[in-house]
Structure 1
Amino acid sequence: AYLPAQLAVVPTSGGQAKVLTDTRTAAYKAREWVQPKLVQVPSKHGAGVVWAKYYGPETPEPGKQYPIAMFVHGAGYLQNVHQRYPAYFREQMFHNLLVQKGYIVLDMDYRGSEGYGRDWRTAIYRNMGHPELEDYKDGLDWLVDTKQGDRAHAGIYGGSYGGFMTFMALFRSPGTFKAGAALRPVVDWHQYNHGYTANILNTPDIDPEAYRTSSPIEYADGLQDHLLIAHGMMDDNVFFQDSVNLTQKLIELHKDNWTIAPYPLERHGYVRPDSWLDQYKRILKLFEENLK
């Protein structure tokens, strides 16, 4: 989980591989990382089990209830529960920090994620954000029932599709998560690219109800908990306009307890270390102030 891909050679005649590179620094290798545990979360909504990565203390303190952080991977169809170095390596390091600060963390391959067959992949057809939220609520129950999770102090965060799901969680199930961070988030699927969205929701002219059902802006009135929006202003995937539109909507709804952090020099995938640092400092502050 903490070993980036390296180069090695194997003789054409066979034999042992000779490793040529080790790109990890001495400080990185010396650190004691929290190993993610691959777990199966029982579904209460007919989905069998939901595979997930769990980060927590090796030996939980008896009688203690732990604040909960739930991570939502991006892309919708991506698979993030696997035994290798993840695409979300920064988030994995952030999860280590959260565990050090007393949280437990769950990262789920919710319905729609790839790697689990056709029915799993297509479960969100015309209904984005609904089956996935059921899976996260089941994950929350599992943490409370088996990992000493504190239901009253749970938060959620993620980027892109994970940002979209953070909105759906806070808007459609107020009170479940006391705080959420939506990063480079989709607000309205009408504005996202046709090639991706039409495969799941058809097109707005023939299936407007699927877009209404699946777009967070339709549920913004449900916000009552603490929300952080973070978005690169040069985003060429999920346009910054999405977050601008939601900002105006929240103003018109007279909503409190939300903030927006714009990143003027960033696109969808940040490239500046100071932007990553600023964003995760804000998420940590959001959780520390509202989940403890």
Structure 2
Amino acid sequence: MTNARIARAAPDAAANRFATLTFEREVAAPPSALWAAWTAPAARAVWAAPTPSVTVEFLEAETKVGGREISLCKVAGEPDIRCEVGWLALEPERCSVNHEVISSGGNTQSVALVTAEFSGSNERSRLRVTVQLCSLGTDMEQGYRQGFGGGLDNLAGVAERTMILRRTIAAPRTRVWAAWANPEALPQWWGPDGFTCRTSRIDLRSGGDWVFDMIGPDGTVFPNHHRYLEVIPEQRIAYGLLWGENGPKHADAWIAFEDDGDATALTLGMVFSSSEEFRSASDMGAVELGHQTLAKLDRFVTGR
């Protein structure tokens, strides 16, 4: 995991090369939110850095069995640290297993097997992470303790302000994707029941954005700005939600597209920027409004 801070390799590093570390967290969020925060690339990017002095840059991320994640951990004045993760097992809301290799300057610092176990109810979750570590550099065990400790504290906070919506649409993924990624189609169905869109500009690509107004049934105008961070055709979209053009960001969001037989399973996730933003959205009925939006997409795609 990218949030382990690594020391330089030492030829005689040795005595305690192997270690098994265990981390546990109680989280005030349902297992679905905790699982999404742990696995979704857009959410992992929010909590990965263990401290404000660390910046994590994701170069590649594909959370599926056989997929990999590559990131760089950056600290001012120090060499970049590369983390390569390979996903070995993913049992939603139950367990994940991945291996990771940490390197710096082309030298491997450590390898580890990371097992995460999830349990809980509708309101609370428990996470247990076991790291089987082989150190090739110095101070690796302490670095992992500090890095995972800070990262999992961040993860708990992210999960507690994460909202997850799911819907299965009886249409192939190519058709569902086309409704989401077509600049002429998206404004036709986006928004809850009774709302319409008025677009100022729309550029649905990585690095593009969508500036638009949501107009409520009573004519109230709600300015919006989506900044697209990642667009991978027929797989996922990650974007920031801003209050009006270049306004303050109130959430990091993503939509994932998966085959479900002949249908398409959608997951829409949002990590709100603060607990206050999450409570405000919840009080305004964001879950129900989001489900209405996905239902409109369903009707748009299927004609039903």
TM-score using structure 2 length: 0.26
In terms of fraction of residues, the more strand-rich structure is 2
Structure of higher CA gyration radius:
2
In terms of fraction of residues, the more helix-rich structure is 1
Higher RCO (CA-CA < 8 Å; seq separation 6+):
2
